[in-house]
Structures are given as C-alpha cells and as structure tokens.
C-alpha cells in the first residue's frame, strides 16, 4: 500500500470561561514545559480549525527539513511560531528530511478567544505524527501541541480541552492531561459574537494580569469542583471576568455592555471568551432569536450560533 502524503486534521474550536495559571508546584517553579499550564473550564465548539499537511518531497540526507505555512490562505511561515515549533520537533525525530506544506483554515475569528492556536498546534502534531510515522499515542501527540503553545505563549490549557470535547474542566495543569466533563442541557445553543482580538501573550505575560488571573482562577476552580454543574460553571465564569477586571479599559466597554444586556434575558447566561473581545451566550434553541437580536444591537464584526462539540480531533483525507 502506498503511504499517504496528505492528511487533514479537524480540531474543534473552544471557548475558555475561566482559567488558573499554574507555573509552580509546592512553592517551586515547574521544571518542564509540559507541566506548565492552566486549570479551568469551557466548551468545545461545533466549528473547526482544519490543518492540511502535504509532503511535497523527501530531501537528500544532508539537507535540512523545511516547510511552508499558510493561515486562511495567507503566507505565515515566518510568523506561525507555534506551528513551526511542532514541525521542528517532529522533523528532529525522523531520519529522512522532508519538504512539507502546512495549511491552516479556521471557521472562527483568530485571536478572539476561540482556541485557534490550539487547533493549529494539535492539527500539526497529529498530522505530522501520522504522515511521518513517528508512532506517538493520542496524548503524546497532544503533549507536543501543548508544549508548543506554552513555549510560544499562545495558550496554556486549551489543548487538553480540545482533545477531550464537551464542556470540560481541566483539573490538572499541563501534561498528563486530566479532565472531567460537565453535563449540558440537551437543547443548548451557544451564540457567539466578536469585536476583535486580544493577543494571549500580552495578557499572560503581564505581571498584574497574571496575578489577578491566578487568584481569581484558584477561587473559581475551588468553587466549581465543589459543585460541578452547568449553572455553576456559568456563574463562576461571570464572576471570574469581574474579578480579573479585564472589562474595565474603555476599549472593552462594548463587550461589557453586551454581556449585561444578554444577562437581562431569561437565558442560561453570557460572559466573555478568555481571551478575546468576544461574548458567548448559552441559551435554549427556542431563545436564540431574542439572543441574536440583542447581539445585533451592538453590531459585532462576527456573529454565529453553535453547538457544544462532544468529540475531539478528526483525521480525514478531505
């Protein structure tokens, strides 16, 4: 059988409702990137980030492996550092250098709190593991994606949730991934609207933001683990946003005001994506029209109605 030279990996986008940064254990810094991460919770979504990988050719033994990366059709080889980190790791494990194309396409906005970087990291790791016959397990390939996110400060805990699916709680930071899931009502919808991006690195690298997130995240985790039910997740996520004071800057007032208006409705509740200028609202199918009407009064750049995705990544020959 002729080996595959192309594969597409579909990874569900994800929203984080709250998170707790974990960089130390027992008062000491974590000694390996795989163990740095976050605990928190959020739903995987029914829209995907797709990563298509193609082996163009095998190179001569002394040549270095190389790749071309695009994001939504635009050249990104020099800027897609998380993807390139994953590529470099895998090509260090193989004997024969390769020339590879990596094409990312995302159904939800970049940088707006939908886990796009996690989609790309997982898609690249799973795809290269398959095409290059590296032989890593599901979680081992996920570990490489997680390390790439941490190394490049594009994410801390999204990967584990995207591998698990559903409305998940990350109960152990980093790898090995340890998650639980919260039961959702059967007819639930998530209406999402976005006004723009917040670079994750700008928040998780800022000492004041980090301090607030660590304190508020620890409080949120303790509360949710005591009562891991759907209404409590929404309540805790809303309180987390208040506690970290992320909606206080003037350019976040549109997000703040939209959340307030949505929470006046008789729905499950609304809050802010971590991290992005985006708002999500949990509601029943019968309530989506009035939720859309409130969103539309604020004219977000992006508006979409989604479901909770109960599965993880999918390998395809699309």
pLDDT at 29: 47
Fold equal for 6-181 and 184-306: no
Distance, CA of 176 to CA of 262 (rounded, Å): 37
The domain defined by 184-306 folds into Alpha-Beta Plaits (3.30.70)
SS3 content of the chain, % helix, strand, coil (to 5): 35, 30, 30
Q: What is the pTM of this model?
A: 0.94
Q: Whose CA is closest to 277, among 304, 254, 293, 303?
A: 254
pLDDT at 24: 58
Beta bridge partners of 179: 170
**244 φ/ψ angles, rounded to the nearest 5 degrees:** -85, -5
Per-run averaged pLDDT (10 residues), the chain, 318 residues? 90 97 59 83 98 96 96 97 97 95 98 96 98 96 95 90 96 89 96 92 84 95 97 98 94 96 98 96 98 98 98 92
Burial class (CB in 10 A: 0-12, 13-18, 19+), 75: exposed
pLDDT at 28: 47
Domain locations in the chain as residue ranges: 6-181, 184-306
Q: How many CA atoms lie within 13 A of 84 on its CB side?
A: 13
pLDDT at 30: 46
Q: Whose CA is closest to 282, among 213, 182, 200, 199?
A: 182
**68 φ/ψ angles, rounded to the nearest 5 degrees:** -120, 130
Burial class (CB in 10 A: 0-12, 13-18, 19+), 117: buried
The domain defined by 6-181 folds into Ribosomal Protein S5; domain 2 (3.30.230)
């Amino acid at each position: 059988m002729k080996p595959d030279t192309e594969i597409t990996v579909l990874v569900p986008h994800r929203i984080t409702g709250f998170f707790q940064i974990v960089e130390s254990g027992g008062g000491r810094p974590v000694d390996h990137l795989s163990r740095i991460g976050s605990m928190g919770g959020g739903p995987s979504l029914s829209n995907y980030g797709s990563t298509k990988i193609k082996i163009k050719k095998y190179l001569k033994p002394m040549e270095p492996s190389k790749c071309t990366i695009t994001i939504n059709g635009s050249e990104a080889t020099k800027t897609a550092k998380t993807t390139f980190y994953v590529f470099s790791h895998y090509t260090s494990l193989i004997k024969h250098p390769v020339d590879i194309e990596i094409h990312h396409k995302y159904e939800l906005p970049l940088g707006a709190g939908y886990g796009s970087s996690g989609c790309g990291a997982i898609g690249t790791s799973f795809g290269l593991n398959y095409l290059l016959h590296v032989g890593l397990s599901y979680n081992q390939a996920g570990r490489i994606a997680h390390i790439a996110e941490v190394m490049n400060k594009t994410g801390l805990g999204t990967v584990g949730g995207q591998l698990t699916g559903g409305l998940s709680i990350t109960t152990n930071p980093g790898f090995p991934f340890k998650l639980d899931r919260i039961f959702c009502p059967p007819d639930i919808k998530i209406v999402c609207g976005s006004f723009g991006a917040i670079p994750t690195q700008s928040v998780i690298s800022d000492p004041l933001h980090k301090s607030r997130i660590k304190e508020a995240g620890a409080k949120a985790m303790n509360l949710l683990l005591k009562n891991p039910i759907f209404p409590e997740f929404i309540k805790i996520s809303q309180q987390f946003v208040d506690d970290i004071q992320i909606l206080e800057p003037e350019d976040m007032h549109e997000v703040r005001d939209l959340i307030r208006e949505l929470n006046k409705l008789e729905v499950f509740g609304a809050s802010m994506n971590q991290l992005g200028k985006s708002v999500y609202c949990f509601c029943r199918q019968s309530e989506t029209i009035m939720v859309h009407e409130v969103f539309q009064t604020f004219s977000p750049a992006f508006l979409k109605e989604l479901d909770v995705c109960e599965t993880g990544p999918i390998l395809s020959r699309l």
